[in-house]
Structure 1
Amino acid sequence: MLLGAPAHAQTAAPATVVALTARTPELSTFHKLVQQAGLNASLEGSGPVTVFAPTNDAFKAVPAAAMDKLSKDPEWLKSVLSYHVVPGALKAGNINANSALTTVNGAQITASKAGDFVTVDEGLVTQADLVAGNGVVHVIDRVLMPAVKK
């Protein structure tokens, strides 16, 4: 703490997970896609929700054909983004060795913890427990893709 700075000068948590992603530079692609998919209203609700938000670099690693499909197929985009959202506020400390989680679109993902490392399916949590008024955001290094329904 800086000398002379009032104790209450700490930055308040953003009101929503959407506001949190908006002010986190490495999540700008995720934030833009949430807006494009029209999911901001559901992520600005009272929650609580847990969002596993891929970084900009994670989106850059997605094959061009898959990103093209996301940009042209609004339902697929919603499905992929919803696959990163779990009901309830789940902090990293509450994740067990293998925790089966149900996403908001009904799919199953697995969160695992080994020592200080937390993974979600194939994604590594690089920044945990970013708290917003309506939930928690964990930054991950990979875009999670749901199984394609036939």
Structure 2
Amino acid sequence: MNTTLTPRRVPAALAAAALAVSLGALAPQASADEGGSPFGPGCASVPKEGEGSLSGMADDPVATAASNNPALSTLVTAVEKAGLVDTLNNAKDITVFAPTNEAFAKIPKADLDKVLADKEMLTKILTYHVVDQPVDKADLADGSFKTLQGGTLTTAGSGDAYKVNDSAAIVCGDVHTSNATVHVIDTVLMPK
């Protein structure tokens, strides 16, 4: 199996629109019967058609779907460096809390470069963003979820406003890929 991600070409207009929801492409897939519709202020910027659209992302496994979204390029780079492409693409019914490029940009460059160069630390951080079960909007109001890293994430909120660990806002939630549900977040989560 090819373990590299080959980004598909997305027209410039779609790329700009996708920027606001960069991590949405990493979401696990749920059928219309299993999960709700995407929600949050960032969802309005998702293209209506093409590979970066909600229906386009639903066709691919989570890591591949993320590679179609330029707003998730930092996350895609991190997943590749950690060697997690196959792990994420082959998993079933997972949930990914996907930080946008802007979320990664909040980390000082020297610190981010250090983490990207440390595969063990990078893997811990990335797997802290993944839950081994479907988590949709209905589960977010007052949730506690064990991550693949072994830690726990908490969620709270109502309506279309939810936070993860009291620090990261979900900007576009309930985005589905063929194998995952994705909640795009505005801050990188750090395991304790």
TM-score by length of 2: 0.67
- Alignment root-mean-square deviation, CA: 1.5
| Matching residue's letter, 2:164 | V
Of the candidates 82, 95, 108, which is equivalent to residue 127 of structure 2?
A: 82
Aligned positions of 1:69-108 closer than 5 A: 69-96=114-141, 98-108=142-152
Deviation string, structure 1 residues 83-125 (Cα, Å, up to 9, x no partner): 10001121123322x2111001110110112332011111000
Flag the structure with higher strand content.
1
Q: Per the alignment, do residues 117 and 49 of structure 1 end up closer, same or farther by CA in structure 2, a change over 3 Å counting?
A: same
Residue number in structure 1 paired with 2:87: 42
The answer as to 2:97 corresponding to 1:52 is yes
Structure 1 residue 64: deviation in Å?
Answer: 2.7
1:138 Cα deviation from its structure 2 partner: 1.0
**Counterpart among 177, 185, 188 of residue 132 in structure 1:** 177
Aligned amino acid, residue 90 of structure 1: V
Aligned identity (percent) is 36
Q: Which residue of 2 aligns with 1:29?
A: 74
Scaled by the length of structure 1, the TM-score of the pair is 0.85
Task: Tell me how far 1:11 sits from its aligned partner.
Answer: 3.7
Matches of 2:91 and 2:79, distance apart in 1: 17
C-alpha change, 1:86 and 1:14, in structure 2 (3 Å) is same
Which residue matches 1:110? Answer: 154
Describe the shift of the 1:42–1:26 C-alpha distance in structure 2 as closer, same or farther (beyond 3 A): same
| One-letter code aligned to 2:77 | K
Question: Which amino acid counterpart does residue 183 of structure 2 have in structure 1?
Answer: H
Greater shift after overlay, 10-19 or 31-40? 10-19
Structure 2: 5+ residue stretches without partners: 1-53
Structure 1 residues without counterparts, runs of 5 or longer: 1-9
Q: Which runs of 4+ in 1 moved over 3 A?
A: none
- Alpha-carbon distance in 2 for matches of 1:99, 1:137: 16
- Which amino acid in the other structure matches residue 78 of structure 2? L
- Greater Rg, structure 1 or structure 2? 1
| Aligned residue pairs, count | 137
Aligned partners of 2:169 and 2:114: how far apart in 1? 24
Q: Tell me, in whole angstroms, the C-alpha distance in 2 between the residues paired with 1:108 and 1:94.
A: 15
